[in-house]
């Protein structure tokens, strides 16, 4: 039995999907399978994926039309369960792993059987493929448990490893959420469970190229919709909606004067010298 299933949703990823896959093939941990869900791509993504069809480590599913991220993630989750995998990880088609990512997370989860999920810091690159920010909500390793949705401590979904048996049969990605389906899934997964954030960078994400005011607005809208689905009460929903309006108008104003980078510069923190060196070392592999 393979130990880790890596779900890779992709839509029109011809420019980046090979680098994502190569970072998986370069892992020091070899007991994995890749579950690639081609979400109706109209570019050369299908042709690229065909190169891996004869490798039994790859399970490739093609949608005939674009359905959206929650459908792709849910299909990957269903295959993970069908294959009886112990752990599930994510890898978006324009992102990549450091070589020790799976090994490090697997060893941690094996030695902490009470932990449902381990998340790690994310390195953020710019258009020049330089490491310019780090998404690290906590400076040290933190252990969490929450019993109220309003007290959920947000951690990255993309860089996480999840113990599959903690995902009960009624827990699925919400098809009605075109954005923020990942945090919606984590909130419902982790309620009354133990989870961990580790500040070590294991995952690289190009946020600057993918940021837009439209995406930001949609993400905020669907995140608010996700909270409404939790039935937290009128007061909690009004407070969250008010906060979203303030944040959105701030970014909209920055966008109108072409200063989105001011907002982006506040997302995460500057990398340390050691983190920058580690990034360059892995970038050149």
Q: Note the pLDDT of residue 260.
A: 60
d(CA 164, CA 135): 25
Give tens-digit pLDDT for 18-28: 999 999 999 99
Q: Note the pLDDT of residue 206.
A: 78
What angle separates helix 181-190 from helix 69-82, to the nearest 10 degrees? 40
- The answer on 53 and 142 residing in a single domain is yes
- The answer on 149 and 195 residing in a single domain is yes
- The answer on 68 and 98 residing in a single domain is yes
Q: Over range 210-217, report the average pLDDT.
A: 61
- The answer on 127 and 99 residing in a single domain is yes
Q: Over range 149-165, report the average pLDDT.
A: 92
| Confidence band, pLDDT 50/70/90 cuts, at residue 78 | very high
Q: What is the pTM of this model?
A: 0.85
Do the beta carbons of residue 97 and residue 32 sit within 8 Å? no
Q: Over range 144-169, report the average pLDDT.
A: 92
d(CA 52, CA 31): 17
The length of the chain, given as a count of residues: 285
- The answer on 202 and 246 residing in a single domain is no
- The answer on 100 and 192 residing in a single domain is yes
Look up the CATH number of the domain holding residue 75: 3.90.550.10
Do the beta carbons of residue 217 and residue 139 sit within 8 Å? no
- The answer on 185 and 114 residing in a single domain is yes
- The answer on 220 and 155 residing in a single domain is no
Q: Note the pLDDT of residue 222.
A: 65
Nearest to 123 by CA among 284, 285, 272: 272
Two structure tokens written together for 197: 């954030």
- The answer on 222 and 128 residing in a single domain is no
- The answer on 197 and 89 residing in a single domain is yes
Structural domain boundaries, residue 78: 4-206+272-283
Give tens-digit pLDDT for 48-64: 999 999 999 999 999 99
Q: Note the pLDDT of residue 167.
A: 97
Give tens-digit pLDDT for 227-282: 667 766 666 667 666 666 776 677 667 666 766 665 555 567 899 999 999 999 99
| Confidence band, pLDDT 50/70/90 cuts, at residue 191 | very high
In total, how many domains does the chain have?
2
- The answer on 105 and 64 residing in a single domain is yes
Give tens-digit pLDDT for 105-136: 999 999 999 999 999 999 999 888 899 899 99
């Amino acid at each position: 039995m393979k130990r880790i299933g890596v779900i890779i949703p992709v839509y029109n990823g011809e420019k980046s999907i090979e680098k994502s896959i190569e970072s998986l093939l370069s892992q020091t941990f070899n007991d994995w399978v890749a579950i690639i869900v081609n979400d109706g791509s109209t570019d050369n993504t299908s042709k690229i994926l065909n190169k891996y069809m004869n490798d039994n480590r790859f399970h490739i599913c093609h949608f005939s039309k674009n359905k959206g991220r929650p459908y792709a993630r849910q299909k990957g989750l269903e295959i993970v369960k069908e294959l009886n995998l112990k752990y599930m990880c994510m890898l978006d088609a324009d992102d990549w792993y450091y070589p020790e990512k799976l090994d490090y997370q697997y060893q941690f989860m094996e030695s902490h059987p009470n932990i449902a999920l381990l998340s790690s810091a994310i390195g953020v690159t710019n258009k020049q493929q330089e490491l310019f920010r780090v998404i690290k909500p906590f400076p040290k390793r933190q252990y969490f448990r929450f019993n109220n949705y309003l007290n959920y401590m947000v951690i990255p979904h993309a860089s996480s490893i999840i113990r599959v048996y903690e995902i009960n049969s009624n827990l699925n990605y919400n098809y009605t959420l075109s954005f923020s389906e990942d945090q919606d899934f984590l909130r419902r997964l982790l309620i009354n469970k133990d989870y961990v954030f580790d500040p070590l960078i294991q995952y690289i994400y190009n946020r600057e190229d993918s940021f837009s005011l439209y995406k930001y607005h949609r993400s905020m809208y669907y995140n608010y919709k996700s909270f409404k689905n939790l039935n937290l009460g009128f007061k909690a929903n009004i407070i969250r909606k008010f906060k979203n309006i303030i944040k959105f108008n701030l970014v909209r104003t920055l966008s109108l004067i072409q200063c989105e980078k001011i907002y982006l510069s506040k997302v995460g923190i500057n990398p340390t010298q050691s983190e920058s060196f580690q990034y360059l070392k892995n970038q050149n592999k």
